[in-house]
A and B are shown apart, each in its own frame.
Chain A
Amino acid sequence: MRLVQDKAGSRAPRVGLFVTCLVDLMRPSIGFAALKLLEQAGCKVEVPSQTCCGQPGYNSGDRATARDLAEQVIRSFSHCDYVVAPSGSCAGMIKAHYPELFADDPNLAPKAQALAAKTHELISFLVDVMKVNSVDASFDGAVTYHDSCSGLRELKIKTQPRQLLGTVNGLTMVEMNESEVCCGFGGTFAVKYGEISNSIVEKKTGNITESGAPTLLAGDLGCLMNMAGKLAREGKAIEVRHVAEVLAGMTDEPPIGAPRVSAQS
């Protein structure tokens, strides 16, 4: 499958946007930022019916539930040229774990593999597949970037967000120490082992604060909510956003965990 940006009549790739359940429920603006970035890159975007990729069940040992939900995703998205998610964790679930989940199922294994092959995390999709090398956005000030674990280690996302952030007008990048170390979120881990999770995120907010950047970005809402929640509890005035919001120039919404100034629809 080699579909390039449609300039000379070639078909625009049909992208199924998998917004992820967290973005769907907690922060729809990230979904709209993803939509905008994909359309700017020349994709034809649709939003198939979706709930969750199944990762919470999968990582809790409930393989049957994980398979049911994975099957649902396979059914909803198989017709798309690409599946793109604004999350390394959920994209990683589809890409790295769906084939494993159906390895013993001769009917679904090829479908899971086919879906895995065309599934991408948003920013790496823009850079690696759509060959986007700059964005048309402005953001005043310094940002620091946390490399979320699944994106970094399962999908090798490291340079792509930094490359695009480097083209945002007015933005400067300040690297924190240990940006590749887990923030302590880990899905249900954060609730089941709250005290340990807290110790891990404290080290992370320490590194974020030490960077001096007034804004923290990352590519996974779970990690962002964990870090934003801790920064808020510590009384730190650091703004936390998903990287897609900045790249899409959609930073009108209050940052994660910040008060809503007025009712917005």
Chain B
Amino acid sequence: MSAHPTTNRFIDNATEALADPQLQRAMNNVRSGFIDKRAAVAAKLPEFEALRDSARDIKNHALAHLDLYLERYEANVTAAGGHVHWARTAEEARKIILGICHDAGAKTVTKGKSMISEEIALNAALDAAGIVPVETDLGEYIIQLRDEAPSHIIAPAVHLNATQVESDFRRVHTHLDADRDLSEPVQLLTEARQVLRSKFLAADVGITGANFLVAETGSSIIVTNEGNGDLTQTLPKTHIVIASLEKIVPTLEDVSQILRVLARSATGQEMSVYTTFSTGPRRAADLDGPENYHVVILDNGRSSMLGTAFQDMLRCIRCGACMNHCPVYHAVGGHAYGWVYPGPMGAVLTPTLLGVDKAGHLPNASTFCGRCESVCPVRIPLPKMMRHWREAEFERHLSPATMRSGIKFWAFFAKRPALYRFATSLMMNVMGWMGRDKGRFSSLPLASGWTDYRDFPAPQGGTFQSRYEARRKSTPNNGRAA
């Protein structure tokens, strides 16, 4: 899916999503689950808001000195015996990874959860090269069985219900007893664990993402809840980390600060179950670990965001809180957004990565309710950035002609107060008269987007300014209410 974005079909995608009862049922769980848990765990930590400031400042600092910290990181990875590879584009990243897999003679690759892997469409590239990718995060494993893309950046299968997963497991795990009981989620988990165990042991290469790259130590860090990431990166002979360049932070102290807001914002946990640090390949005294350690650092357009109105977006730590709190995401789910990154963070990031001409709907499909910004752990002004995209579209004449002419028509009057007062007073008198019996209109020309679904309340008739002026003229105290 990531290779073929459907961002331009957003409206059709949304229509399909709204008509999908399974999806709507699953999205109700997002509405209640994530939000209440985050609120509860944030309320328990008095310094939570101060930590958000601190997390923002750390990321801002790292971005301001990105070159310095990336070079220091590379030097420290190399000193620890690992290799850093720089990929300007998705294609370069795929090539580098396939090269490493080829050198390792890889037949199967286990994978920890990684959105960068989705961004560069890595699984398709591995498949095409005859290498079998095995997703080991439970959610990722489920959607891999379904040949779907993640619908959420931390909960990839959140669009599904347990019964759907059960039928997928029965369809694919045909070697297991057909009469087994899978009615409880824990039984699904146990089964996935059993099936995956042998794959962990057989894998030639393990690929993980990274939540952080630490400049001072050359460490990469993943946070997970299932332990699959640890098995992915310690059992195979080769470990490849794929991460985008803005994952860099200066120190371990910085990581420990940001970790305090990450899991709280993401899942409402105080900490994720596993926080795993890896620094270079296995050393002589280590009991386990990979013999080869590679880090592929992806740019893919991000460096072009530096110094622009979109730089703040590079602070994103991929917690998913913005989508968890987004009414549009709740309504249509993640797949409707049509590419890798859904929700508010996707509405800002996707136009950067794909082009605003291809992803223009995303920053427009927001009510600007501001709830995303209000929960963002690194305080990214997401609505402001979506507005920047709308401005870019408007300047490049990409926004729909009807919208542009509508705005211009309205602005023509709004910029001429006397004409505006005259015209609106007349028009509101007419509309008020037309709507006086029912008090509302059930259809209006040019506003079917409204009246297809709800009535449009009729105006009272006349305008405030005309009524106020009439009252002011007729009363000695200049129109003041009695």
In the complex, the answer to whether A68 meets B394 with C-beta atoms within 8 Å is: no
Contact B399 A232 (CB under 8 A): no
Which chain B residues border A36 with CB–CB below 8 Å? 481
Residue interface mask B427-445, A partner, CB < 8 A = 1: 0100010001111101000
Q: Is the CB of B394 within 8 A of A61?
A: yes
Task: Determine if A226 is an interface residue (Cβ-Cβ < 8 Å).
Answer: yes
Closest CB-CB distance, B45 to chain A, in whole Å? 21
Chain A residues within 8 Å of B465, by CB: 19, 24, 47, 50
B51 within 8 A of A: no
Chain B nearest CB from A64 CB (Å) reads 9
Q: How many angstroms from the CA of A61 to the CA of B400 in the assembled complex?
A: 12
Q: How far is the CA of A185 from the CA of B411 in the complex (A)?
A: 21
In this complex, what residue of A is CB-closest to B469? Answer: A47
B420 at the interface (CB under 8 A from A): yes
* A residues in contact with B453, CB < 8 Å: 194-195, 197-198, 201, 230, 233
- Provide the bound-state CA to CA distance between A190 and B453, in Å: 10
Cα of A54 to Cα of B415 in the assembled complex, Å: 10
Indicate if A35 sits at the interface (CB-CB under 8 A): yes
Which of A110-118, A122-130, A135-143, A146-154 is the contact stretch?
Answer: A146-154
Using CB atoms, name the residue of chain A closest to B416: A51
Q: Is the interface of B mostly helix, strand, loop or mixed?
A: helix
The CA-CA distance from A187 to B327 in the complex, in Å, is: 15
Taking the complex as formed, is A182 at the interface, i.e. its CB lies under 8 A from any CB of chain B? yes
Q: Which of A63-100 contact B (CB under 8 A)?
A: 63, 65, 68-69, 72, 100
A24-B463 contact in complex given A52-B414, A192-B403, C-beta closer than 8 Å: yes
How many residue pairs, one in A and one in B, have C-beta atoms under 8 Å apart? 228
Q: Is B392 an interface residue (CB 8 A)?
A: yes
Among residues of B, the one whose C-beta sits closest to the C-beta of A45 is B480
Which chain A residues lie closer than 8 Å to B414 at the CB level? 21, 51-52, 54, 69
B371 surroundings in chain A (CB, below 8 A): 149, 153, 180-182
Q: Chain B interface: which size bin?
A: 35 or more
A203 to B399, CA, bound (A): 29
Q: Give chain B's interface residues, CB within 8 Å of chain A.
A: 11, 14-15, 18, 327-328, 330-332, 364-371, 373-374, 384, 387, 389-395, 399, 403-404, 407-408, 410-411, 413-415, 417, 420-421, 424, 428, 432, 436-440, 442, 447-450, 452-465, 467-468, 479-481
Residues in chain B near residue A49, CB distance under 8 A: 417, 421
Among A27, A153, A229, A230, chain B packs the most CB atoms within 10 A around the CB of A229
Q: Say yes or no: A27-B459 contact (C-beta < 8 A), given A47-B468, A194-B449.
A: yes
**Are B440 and A232 interface neighbours, CB within 8 A?**
yes
Chain B, residue nearest A49 (CB): B417
CB distance from B158 to the nearest CB of A (A): 17
Segment at the interface with B among A3-11, A160-168, A208-216, A256-264 = A256-264
What's the nearest-Cβ distance from chain B to residue A114, in Å? 22
* A193 lies within 8 A of B457 (CB): no
Q: Does A191 belong to the interface (CB within 8 Å)?
A: yes
Across the two chains, which residue of chain B brings its CB closest to A229? B454
Q: Is A134 an interface residue (CB 8 A)?
A: no
Q: List residues of chain A with CB within 8 A of the CB of B364.
A: 189, 192-193
The answer to whether A105 has its CB under 8 Å from any CB of chain B is: no
* CB-CB under 8 A for A186 and B420, given A56-B410, A191-B450: no
Given A23-B464, A149-B371, A184-B327, A259 and B439 touching (CB < 8 A)? Answer: yes
**Contact partner of A184 among B367, B392, B420, B424, CB < 8 A?**
B367
**Mind listing 20 A-B residue pairs with CB under 8 Å?**
A26-B459, A35-B480, A39-B481, A51-B414, A52-B410, A59-B390, A61-B389, A65-B408, A100-B384, A153-B374, A190-B450, A193-B365, A195-B11, A198-B453, A200-B331, A203-B330, A229-B455, A232-B455, A233-B453, A260-B461
7 cross-chain pairs, A with B, having the tightest CB-CB distances, nearest first: A186-B367, A194-B449, A61-B390, A61-B394, A182-B369, A198-B453, A257-B457
Report how far A110 CA is from B395 CA in the complex, Å.
Answer: 26
Nearest chain A CB to B424 CB, angstrom units: 6
Partner of A257, one of B420, B447, B458: B458
The reply to whether B464 and A31 contact each other, CB–CB distance below 8 Å, is yes
Closest to A248 in B: B481
Chain A: minimal CB distance from B224 (Å) = 30
- B390 A198 Cβ-Cβ under 8 A: no
A233–B428 alpha-carbon span in the complex (Å): 22
Q: A49-B421, A197-B453 are in contact. List 11 more A-B contacts (CB 8 A).
A: A26-B457, A26-B460, A36-B481, A51-B413, A52-B414, A186-B367, A187-B368, A189-B365, A196-B331, A199-B18, A257-B458
In contact, A229 and B480 (Cβ under 8 angstroms): no
Residue A57 is within 8 A (CB to CB) of chain B in the complex: yes
Contact between B460 and A27, CB atoms less than 8 A apart: yes
Task: Find the B residue at minimum CB distance from A40.
Answer: B481
Determine if B391 and A63 form an interchain contact, defined as CB atoms under 8 angstroms apart. Answer: yes
CB distance B411 to A181 under 8 Å?
no
Residues of A within 8 A of B389 (CB): 61
